[in-house]
Structure 1
Amino acid sequence: MRTLPTPPLCGEPATVRIELYTADSLDACAYTCTGHVIHVTAVVARAGMDAHPVGMAPDVDRPCGYVHVFPTGTLADEPAELSHPRWCDRDECQRRDQHRSRARRVDTNRPEAFIVDVALVQALHPAAEPMVRLTSVQGGAAASLVLSVGQTRVLRYRLANLLDLAGARPNGGRWT
C-alpha cells in the first residue's frame, strides 16, 4: 500500500473532485473547495501520483479535505493475513488479485505445435471458487481458457473417452 498524502481540511463545502491515479488505476478521490485545488494537486503530484480535477455531480455533498479510497485500488488497506489455499504458490497474490498454483507443463517429450500449461487459480474474494486455467503458447501469441472445476472434471472424462476411441494405449510409459 502506498501512503495517501493528507490534503488540507478546511471543512468548507467541496466544489471539485480530484481523481487520484497510481499505475493507470483510479485509486481514490479527494474532494476540495476551489481555493485548495492547486494545493491538493501539488501534494498529490509530490507523492508520485497523478491528480485529475473534475467537476462534481450536483447531488454530491462532501466537505473540503474528504478523501474516498477505493477498496480495489493500490491505496486500500491489505487484509491483515491473506489466507492461502494449500496449492497456492504464494508469490504476488495481492498484485495479481488471485491465488495461483505452479503451472504444470503438458509435456509429451516430443516437439509440439503449442506449449500448454495448466494451473489452478482463485480470485481473492472470500466466496470465490478455484478454477482451472489452460494456457497455450505458439510463437509470441498466448491464449488462456479458464474452466470451473466441474467443467474440468467432465473434460477429463471426455478426453479419456476420446483417447479410448483413438486407440491410444500406454507403451512403456508413453502413449502411442
Structure 2
Amino acid sequence: MSTLPTPPACGEPATVRIELYTADSLDACAYTCAAHTIHVTAVVVKAGMDAHPVGMAPDVDRPCGYVHVYPTGTLATEPADLTHPRWCDRGDCARRGRHRSPALHLDTNRPEAFIVDVALVQALHPAAAPMVALTSVEGSATACLLLSVGQARVLRYRLGNLIDMTKATRNGGRWT
C-alpha cells in the first residue's frame, strides 16, 4: 500500500479535480483551487504517483485540499482479517465465501429472453485466481458459468469475430 502525500489546503472552493493513479489504478482524487493545482501535482508526482488534473462537475462542491481515497484502490486501508482485490465491492465477502466485483448487467435496451450479468469472483484463499462469472436468469431459474480470465479473454475475441461477421459488407456490387 502506498502512502498518500498531504496536499496543501487553503479551504477555498476547489475548481480542479486531480486524479491520482498508481500502477494503472485510479486510487484517489485531490481537489484544489487554481492557485494550488501545480503544487499538488508536483507533490503527487514526487511521491511516485501519476497526477491527471481534470475539470470538476458543476454540481460538486469541495474545498481546496480535500482528498477522496477510493476503497478499491491501492491507497485504501484494508482490514487486517481480510484483504480484498482492487475490484472487490467489499460487501459481505466472508458470508459469500468469495470476493465479488459489482455485477455488470448486459442491457441491450430491448426485451431479451434472459437477464445476463457478468462479474469477477475469487475465492477467499490468497492463492486463488480471479474468475469471470456469467450469470443468466430466466424466470426463477438461474445458471452461472465460471470462466478463467484466460478463457474470458479468448471468448472476448471470439465474440468480436462473430459479431463482425454479422455486419453488412459489399460483395460483388451487392450488400450482404
SS at match of 1:19: strand
Query: What is the CA deviation profile of residues 77-108 of structure 1, one whole-angstrom value per residue up to 9, with x for unaligned ones?
Result: 011222xxxxxxxxxx645768xxxxxxxxxx
Say if 2:28 and 2:69, in contact at 8 Å, map to a contact too. Answer: yes
RMSD across aligned positions (CA): 3.2
1:16 paired residue number: 16
Q: Unaligned stretches of 5+ in structure 1?
A: 83-92, 99-122, 134-143, 153-176
Distance 1:127 1:69 in 2: 26
Deviations 1:46-84 (A, max 9, x none): 1110000000011100000000000000000011222xx
Counterpart CA distance in 1 for 2:60 and 2:144 is 46
* CA–CA separation in structure 1 for the residues paired with 2:70 and 2:19: 11
Moved over 2 A (4+): 93-98, 123-133, 144-148
TM-score by length of 2: 0.52
Percent identity for Structure 1 against Structure 2: 69
SS at match of 1:29: strand
How far apart are residue 14 of structure 1 and its match? 0.2
Give, in whole Å, the separation in 1 of the partners of 2:27 and 2:51: 11
- Structure 2 vs 1, CA of residues 52 and 21 (structure 1 numbering), >3 Å: closer, same or farther? same
Q: Distance in 2 between matches of 1:132 and 1:81?
A: 16
Give the number of the structure whose alpha-carbon radius of gyration is greater.
1
CA contact (8 A) 1:20 1:28 kept: yes
* Separation (CA, whole Å) in 1 of partners of 2:20 and 2:39: 14
**Cross-structure match for 1:62:** 62
Corresponding residue of 2:93: 125
Q: Is the 8 A contact 1:17 1:31 kept in 2?
A: yes
Partners of 1:97 and 1:124 within 8 A in 2 = no
CA separation of 1:145 and 1:33: change in aligned 2, threshold 3 A: closer
- Counterpart position of 1:5: 5
